[in-house]
Amino acid sequence: MRIKWADQKVHDWSSDCTVCVWCLEGFNLLNTISLTSAICHIGVSCDSTFLLVACEDNSVHVRSLTTGSDVHCLLGHHGKVTSLCFARDNCRCVVGCHDGKIYIYDIHSAKLLQTLGGHSDAVVSLQTQQQDTFLISAGGSKILVWNFYSKRNEGTRAKTCKVNTHRDVVTCVAVSRDGNLAVSGSKDHLVKAWHLSSGETHTTLEGHSGPITCVAFAPNGLFVVSGSEDMTLRVWGLTLGLIVSTFK
At residue 153, the pLDDT reads 45
Has residue 238 got a pLDDT over 70? yes
Q: Is the pTM of this model over 0.85?
A: yes
Report residue 236 CA to chain centroid gap: 21
Percent share of the chain, pLDDT over 90: 69
Cβ-count burial 5-40 (b if 16+ within 10 Å, e if not): eeeebbbebeeebebbbbeeeeeeeebebebeeebb
**Tens digit of each residue's pLDDT (9 = 90 or more) over 80-123:** 999 999 999 999 999 999 999 999 999 999 999 999 998 999 99
Provide the sign of the torsion angle of the four alpha carbons 217, 218, 224, 226, taken in this order.
Answer: negative
> 112-123 pLDDT, tens per residue?
999 999 899 999
d(CA 238, CA 191): 11
Question: Tell me: the pLDDT tens digits for 125-176?
Answer: 999 988 888 899 999 988 998 988 765 545 555 566 667 678 899 999 999 9
- State the Cα–Cα distance between residues 130 and 145, nearest whole angstrom: 14
- Among the four given CATH numbers 2.30.110.10, 3.10.20.30, 2.40.10.480, 1.20.1260.10, the one describing domain 167-248: 2.40.10.480
User: Residue 72 and residue 94: Cα distance in Å, rounded?
Assistant: 14
- Rounded Cα distance between 235 and 120, Å, is 32
